[in-house]
Structure 1
Amino acid sequence: MTSPILLTGGTGTLGSLVIPLLRDAGRAVRVLSRSSHEPADDVQYVTGDLVTGEGIDRAVRGVETVVHLAGGANGKGDEEATRNLVRCAAHADVRHLVSISVIGADRVPVGYFKAKLAVEQVVAGSGLPWTMLRAAQVHDLILTLMRTMAKLPVIPAPGAIRFQPVDSGEVANRLAELTLGEPAGLVPDLAGPEVHGMADLIRGYLRANGKRRLLLPLPVPGKAGRAYRAGENLSRAGASIGTLTWADFLAARGIGLPGDRTGTGVTTP
């Protein structure tokens, strides 16, 4: 009998999309979660906490492949959580550790990116066979950001910051493919087909929802500003590029971009 695949972050945006793909491939799935869940659709849940280390030994028992998708919104605690996971995985003789990171983890001197780089280094130094996918921010995250910012009476609009958002379903498909394959180390980045300035994203979202807000141009100083202006968080040559645009994503949720079906971005080469 094939051993189950363990997922951390299995109840999140990406994890909830990866699970059915693995199930469709005939693989049993186990999810490590801080909350208790009843088994559903042949998915087993093990209660545990990556930060404290509680329950991880039980979760990795009998597992050959681990997909590590768990992470905090700001990356805080992710390095220690990953250390706890790889320590238990090594003791359990896990043969493949798949992990998600962010494009620019090694180039953008900002806390979140630094935290993701630290996680990458823990995985690469674990002694386990591993695969790492760096992806751009998913559309769902950008939408959450836009909704949050639209609640402000005055919205800061850093001109240096651009995004290349990618569809979460396309990231999940790639993760499932990598999980079912052999360990491959650091694989090509995955980003969306368009680059959007933050100010353009905000304006488009406000127009689509009939909202009016004052946008306050905001410089990004120092090393972080130089990195964003240089596009260090964007894809480079050799990256894999998705097909679903920001406008496609919004349209699927009943949100249109007035007068611009293709969105406010610039298509990348």
Structure 2
Amino acid sequence: MTLIAVAGGTGLAGRAVVAEAVARGYRVRSLSRHLPSDEKRVAGAEYVKVDFTTGIGVATGLEGVGALIETLDARSGAALSALPVTSVAVLAAAAEAGIGRIVLLTIVRAGECSMAYYQAQAARALSYEHSGLAATIVYATQFHDLVAGIFAAGAKVGVIPAFKGVSFQPISTVDVARLLVDAAVADGSGKRKVLTGGPEVMDMKELARQWKLVTGSKAMVVGLPLPGSFGRFLRAGKNLIPDAAVGSVKFRDWMAAR
């Protein structure tokens, strides 16, 4: 049976991937710089301390691995700057270990947004595209968690922000995890690209109203401008991919389940 390793297996997306692969009956090894406490582990998965930037634990972590899924992430600072280099290190380690299939999670059209986080995601995808390995890149729209996080942050000061002219096609980590595992165990040795978006495109104001209804928040939904490169990216609809609406969990249902 294929042993699947998940680089970043303790993060938001990574943990969902670990849970999905375990549920399907695969042997799963989560690789991360810090080992989680017992209550945060997925039952049935193996956890190994690995740091791809220093090489610590890499050989042990990749021993016997048949497929590697990279869900590493960083939001800001030195960690974000180092993220593309870390992905290169992951590729080198996978090649050294002779891993048959590698999979990267990144963002739809990240290269078309000049914000540092999106540029780092685009650089990682390019490294996978140009590698000599059998690589699949999964391009996903924004997670439900991101949209809900924006609303929750604003609600703390009494305002649920609904950026003017902006729509989202949010997707659940469960739906993304399913596609990542599919890619990891697929037959074939060539390069592949997978596009995936949430089940519906919705105006941010409507998403905000749904969030307010489900949470019972007393904060007001307020239309606000979003300046800068991220605002231009979103208003142009670059974050949307309605032709690849393969997600099954709608935002309201995701909120209700939480």
Q: Report the TM-score range of the alignment, normalised by the length of the smaller protein.
A: 0.7 to 0.9
SS at match of 1:81: helix
Q: 2:9–2:31: 8 Å Cα contact kept in structure 1?
A: yes
Q: Residues 188 and 240 of structure 1 are in contact (CA less than 8 Å); yes or no, is this contact kept in structure 2?
A: no
In the alignment, the residues of structure 2 paired with residue 47 and residue 3 of structure 1 have an alpha-carbon distance, to the nearest angstrom, of 20
CA RMSD for the aligned pairs? 2.6
Once residues 153 and 40 of structure 1 are traced to their aligned partners in structure 2, the CA distance between those partners, rounded to angstroms, is 36
- Report how far residue 88 of structure 1 moved: 1.2
Task: After TM superposition, give the deviation of residue 69 of structure 1 in Å.
Answer: 1.0
Question: Do structure 1's residue 206 and structure 2's residue 226 form an aligned pair?
Answer: no
The answer to whether the Cα contact below 8 Å between 1:160 and 1:225 also exists between their aligned partners in 2 is no
Rate the CA distance shift 1:6–1:155 in 2: closer, same or farther, 3 A: same
Aligned length: 250
Structure 2 counterpart of 1:123, which letter?
A: Y
| Preserved CA contact (<8 Å) 1:162 1:196 | yes
Contact kept in structure 2, 1:53 and 1:85, CA below 8 Å:
no
Give the aligned partner of residue 198 of structure 2.
192
- Measured after TM superposition, the shift of residue 154 of structure 1 is 5.0
Structure 2 CA distance for aligned equivalents of residues 162 and 226 of structure 1: 12
Q: For 1:86, which of 91, 96, 99 is the aligned residue?
A: 91
Rg larger for: 1
Q: Using the TM superposition, give the Cα deviation of residue 225 of structure 1 relative to its aligned residue in structure 2, in angstroms.
A: 4.1
> Is 1:52 equivalent to 2:57 in the alignment?
no
CA contact (8 A) 1:150 1:206 kept: no
User: Structure 1 residues 14 and 121 mapped into 2: Cα distance closer, same or farther (>3 Å)?
Assistant: same
Structure 1 residue corresponding to 2:131, chosen from 115, 126, 129: 126
One-letter code aligned to 2:29:
R
1:73 to 75, 78, 93: 75
TM-score (norm 2): 0.84
Could you tell me how far 1:19 is from its partner in structure 2?
A: 2.3
Normalized per residue, the structure richer in helix is 2
* Alignment match, 2:170: 165
154-163 vs 83-92, greater mean Cα deviation: 154-163
Q: Deviations over 1:87-136 (max 9, x none)?
A: 11111111110111111213223222211111101112221110111111
Aligned to 1:263: none
User: Structure 1, unaligned stretches of length 5 or more?
Assistant: 254-269
Shift of 1:174: 1.4
The amino acid that maps onto 1:244 is V
Structure 1 residues 153-209: Cα deviation after superposition (integer angstroms, max 9, x where no partner): 456543143211012221111111111113553433111122233344334433542
The alpha-carbon distance between structure 1 residues 161 and 36, as it changes in their structure 2 partners (threshold 3 A), is same
Overall identity of the aligned pairs, in %: 28
The letter for the 1-side match of 2:172 is D
Moved more, 169-178 or 22-31: 22-31
State the TM-score, normalizing by the size of structure 1. Answer: 0.81
